[in-house]
Amino acid sequence: MIKETANKALFLDRDGVINEDAGYVCEIEDFKFIDGIFDALREFAEAGYRLFVVTNQSGIGRGYYTQEQFDALNKFMLESFKKEQIFITKVYFCPHAPEQKCTCRKPNPKMILDACKEFNIDLENSLMIGDKPSDVEAGKRAGVGRNFLLDGINFKDVRDVLNKLKKEKSL
């Protein structure tokens, strides 16, 4: 029996990482891609990373927007990436409000671990990029090898993380 080689992955939070975080973004006209995201993700993909989005969407659980609105926005985002020759393997999301105490909401690692099982991910050689400590904590709890916080100081966007990895020759 031949064992399939595990894939390295790049896990990305959505709001504040892929798009500007305007607070409970649910309409296409409010979804603004962060400058440089297409080029950065294209380079990660070319370096062999499978791309995943792992996002808390408590606006659904709080009743600020519907699952259908999220699905429409998600479709728009994925189609925009596809036009740029960037393929997101899968979007995992938690629709629950924090007070619902679910198991999928970051900092819980469930979304990342689900991707690991479903797509044979090598977590040790994978990356997590988020703009909140809960994103990084989810990556650490899952066993993701390197976790990066877009804190506006060390890293302001995904390009900064990419450039650091290129400089280290660890992409």
Residues marked active site are found at 13, 15
Look at residue 40 and give its three-state secondary structure.
Answer: helix
Note the helical H segments in the chain: 37-46, 58-61, 67-83, 110-119, 133-142, 158-168
Residue holding tokens 């890293």? 155
Rg of the chain, C-alpha, whole Å: 15
In contact, 79 and 109? CB cutoff 8 Å: no
